[in-house]
Amino acid sequence: MASYTTSLLNGERVVVLFFISRLLFSLPLSLLSHGLALSLLALASFFLEIRYESSDSLSLFPIRPGASSGIMLGAVTLPSVMLSRLIQLSRALPLGEVKLQELQYLTLQYWATSASCLSVLIFLSLVSRRVPFKRSDWCVRLSLCFSLLQAVACFVFFTATSENGLHIALKLSWVLCHGLAAVKLVQHFLSTFPSCASIGEVLLVTAGIVLYFGDTLLHTIAKLIGLLMSSELVTAEYGISRSEISIVIQGLVLGLLLFPISFKYILQIWEWYTNTASAEARRNNDIERSLIFFASLGLVMIVIVPSWMQFVHEFHMHPFYWVLSFVFSEPLKRLSLCIYWVCVICVSVFRFYNISKNSKIERILLRKYYHLMAVSMFVPALIFQPKLLDLAFGAALAVFLTLEITRVWRIWPLGQPIHQFMNAFTDHRDSDLLIVSHFSLLLGCALPIWMSSGYNDRPLAPFAGILSLGIGDTMASMVGYKYGVLRWSKTGKKTVEGTAAGITSVLAACSLLLPLIGSLYLSL
């Protein structure tokens, strides 16, 4: 019995359940329904993960070799973060620090995110029933039961808080669209990029992308329809102030995410017109394909995306001109910081690239040096130039997306050299189809900073990603690799010594940062 319980509650599940319990303990009375929905979502994902990892259900989807399903972690992460933000804003509302519309809009986003995760769980539950495994069929039944209860909780909440039937219908339709889009995107990702990620990672990324696109679509609907659609679904958005930096980042990222879809159809039309078989014609097609790629990319990023920003968000100048004016508004501080970043990146990348080709050090350990590089780059900027760091994260993400699109499509003449260069930094968690390690590091550092924008009563919250990835994860890997003896499980590589080193290093970094941040606030 004890061994069976231990198999059900592995280290990852215990950490997730502890975090959710701590979050539920902090809930105010006004958010109890949200906490109930999160609990039901966690239970549904918990039993579904047991089903997938105790049978051959994982064979239905080719996931990254050696990875667990990660369904529970992927399903509850984003809703938990949204609920944490709701708790924070609910504390600020009586103080007048935030508007009621902002809290209402974030509530809608929370339910939309929960619907995305819930719909994927239902889809996975139905698919797993194709694999005969009677001993854990009860897990699927329990997962579906808790999923349906979570859907009922969502319906009851909107019914109780909406003014009339039209509001209920609009909100439920909006939430349902998020769920359907998430399921479709998960199917597309797993079929297009097999063996590139775990199911939980795909679920987490999918929920984030759908939420981001939903926010963009809501902005566009509000602008196009305006007064003709007088509902909370639209009017709540007008009470939220958006910074120019967040608008620029949103436009860049969404434009690059949508670009491969449009380029695919443009390329199909072009190849249909120039269907030739000779080798010389294929070489010419590669050049033509490259010209079409860069011309289409330029059109999207220079014309279409800025036009959307100017129309929807009433940007009064071209976004790229705004970026230049922002950087040169404080040339001494911001330009010097940019030069510092460029120097650190160039020295580190070329140094570690040569080491990776000639050294026998494990790739995963070698890549931890990049985490330390991120600390040296981001911590000073976050303390002294946080707005510039926000913009720099968006620019870096846009560059990474552009390079990855160029590598995946093998665009002449840059595609193959980029592929060879990136392969020098990959390990077993990456594949030839999709390289995601650099995205993980960047987004892990950037998302806590972006989500802490606006009202924030936790001074260390923006540093969460930098401290955990740059310091905690690095120290855990190095100490565990060199001195680790006691392993958390028989099959895993995580050691008790590494975990202790990671926790100790993060606590030490926090104890140094807090006085520094306090002294800076007092000097302002």
| 2, part of any domain | no
**In-domain check, residue 207:** yes
Regarding whether 256 and 223 lie in a shared domain, the answer is no
Q: Tell me the C-alpha distance between 352 and 125, whole Å.
A: 44
Q: Is residue 346 part of a domain?
A: yes
Last residue of a domain, one of 202, 224, 241: 241
In a domain, residue 325? The reply is: no
According to DSSP, the residues that pair with 219 across neighbouring strands are none
Look at 75-89, 218-232, 406-420 and tell me which has the smallest mean pLDDT.
218-232
Token match 């969502």: residue?
Answer: 154
pLDDT tens digit string along 279-292? Answer: 555 566 778 888 88
Residue 406 scores a pLDDT above 70: yes
Read off the pLDDT of each residue in 201-226 and give the average, rounded to a whole number.
85
Cα Rg of the chain, angstroms: 24
373 and 353 together in one domain: yes
Instruction: Say if 362 falls within a structural domain.
Output: yes
Same structural domain, 186 and 304:
no
Does residue 438 sit in the same domain as residue 459?
A: no
Residue with tokens 């701590």: 22
What's the total number of domains in the chain?
4
What's the N-to-C CA distance of the chain in angstroms?
59
Q: What is the pLDDT of residues 95-139, one digit of tens each?
A: 888 888 888 888 999 999 999 999 999 998 888 766 655 555 677
Same domain as 458, residue 433: no
383 CB-near residues (< 8 Å, 6+ apart):
516, 517, 520
Q: Tokens at residue 272, please?
A: 């249909």
Calculate the alpha carbon distances from 341 to 347, 348, 351, 381 in Å. 10, 11, 15, 10
Residue 411 is assigned to a structural domain of this protein? yes
Does 366 share its domain with 271? no
| Average confidence (pLDDT) over 351-355 | 70
Do 140 and 208 reside in the same domain of the chain? yes
Same domain, 256 and 351: no
Cα(137)–Cα(416) distance, rounded to whole angstroms? 47
- CA distances 329 to 318, 323, 335, Å, are 16, 10, 10
The percentage of residues in the chain with a pLDDT greater than 90, rounded to a whole number, is: 18
Query: 348 and 425: one domain?
Result: yes
- What pLDDT is recorded for position 279? 52
pTM of the entire predicted model: 0.88
Residues 90 and 205 both lie in one domain: yes
Backbone torsions φ then ψ of 132, nearest 5 degrees: -70, 120
Query: Are residues 364 and 285 both part of a single domain?
Result: no
Residue 292 belongs to domain spanning: 242-314
How far is 239 from 435, CA to CA, in rounded Å?
A: 39
Tell me, yes or no, whether 432 lies in a domain: yes
